[in-house]
Amino acid sequence: MESNFSSEFRPKRVGSGFSTLELIVIIVIIAAVAALSVPKIQDYMASYHLKQAASNIVSQMQLARIRAIKNRVRTVVVFSPTAFTPAGGGAFTIYEDSDNDWVQDVGERVVLQSTSMPRRVTLTSAVFDFAGNGTDLRSFCGFGPQGLAARNGSVYVQGAGAGQGIVLRNSKNATRTIWFWASGKAEIL
């Protein structure tokens, strides 16, 4: 009689896979990591949307500048700021001002129809100095046929005062300011 001693004392394998307790522990760990990361992701997304909205405005202003040079006509960017709303708000329009009166008249070519801000980003302010001394502030600017900031008489229209120009705000109350220079350059500060 032969004895198979080694096989008798080998532990028997009951089953493979995870136990219910192991599965619950893994789910709790995943839920904890997700709960900790959601606020960071929301902050990142709010910052991302604000940055993208500012970049979009600068790009569209460059388009207006190129159109002014190409078509040898004043191109105006009109901003419609709103009070801050969590859902976002405000818009801007670009048109060619062929009669140089700073008013969009019938028949003047629209370069960009009213463009709204993305969700959770609000255009809260757009202030441009038309007098050069801060006494005539308006919510539009423009480019002359040479690509410089358009003039109101002898004064170049540009962003006005510290913290002015074009101000965007996101749902986390962060802001981005776009400054409009006499050279026709729009810059995110």
Strands 151-152 and 91-97: unpaired
The answer to the question of residue 170 being in a domain is: yes
Read off the CATH number of the domain in which 55 is found: 3.55.40.10
The total domain count for the chain is 1
Which domain covers residue 152, as residue numbers?
A: 20-188
Contact 92, 66 (CB under 8 A): no
Instruction: Look at residue 93 and tell me if it is in a domain.
Output: yes
Half-sphere exposure of 184 (CA within 13 A, CB side): 22
Domain assignment present for residue 30? The answer is yes
- First-to-final CA distance of the chain: 92
What pLDDT sits at residue 78? 92
Tens-digit pLDDT string for the chain (189 aa)? 555 555 555 555 656 677 888 889 999 999 888 888 777 787 888 889 899 999 999 999 999 999 999 999 999 999 988 877 777 788 899 999 999 999 999 999 999 888 888 888 999 888 888 888 888 888 899 999 999 998 888 888 888 665 578 999 988 889 999 998 888 898 898
Whether residue 1 lies inside any domain: the answer is no
Give pLDDT, residue 55.
93
3 within some domain: no
54 found inside a domain: yes
- The pLDDT value recorded for residue 62 is 94
Decide if 73 contacts 97 (C-beta within 8 A).
yes
Strand runs (DSSP E) across the chain, as ranges?
Answer: 74-80, 91-97, 110-116, 121-129, 137-138, 140-143, 151-152, 155-156, 158-159, 165-170, 175-180, 186-188
Q: Look at residue 113 in the predicted model and tell me its pLDDT.
A: 87
In the block, which residue shows the tokens 């789910």? 27
Confidence (pLDDT) at 36: 83
14 located within any domain: no
Residue 72 in any domain: the answer is: yes
Q: According to the model, what pLDDT value does residue 21 have?
A: 87
Residue whose entry in the numeric block shows the structure tokens 């480019």: 143
